[in-house]
Amino acid sequence: MSTTIQELKLLEFCILEKMKDIEFQQYRCGHLKNEHEWKK
């Protein structure tokens, strides 16, 4: 299981954004993660 550069950038973006607005980004990043899991 390899992590792509795109996934790393998304993760980094989520972490940085969580510092700004934790509650909103947890929802948003959680939604993106769930969507990614569903597509597998």
The boundaries of the domain holding residue 4 are: 1-39
For residue 28, pLDDT over 60 is answered with yes
| pLDDT at residue number 2 | 76
| pLDDT at residue number 3 | 74
Average pLDDT on 21-32 reads 65
What does the alpha-carbon distance between residue 40 and residue 17 come to, in Å, rounded to a whole number? Answer: 26
Instruction: Give the pLDDT confidence of 1-21 residue by residue, as tens digits.
Output: 577 989 889 888 877 776 666
Write out the two tokens for 6. 């795109």
Question: In total, how many domains does the chain have?
Answer: 1
| pLDDT at residue number 15 | 77
CB contact at 8 A, 29 and 14: yes
pTM of the complete model: 0.35
| pLDDT at residue number 14 | 75
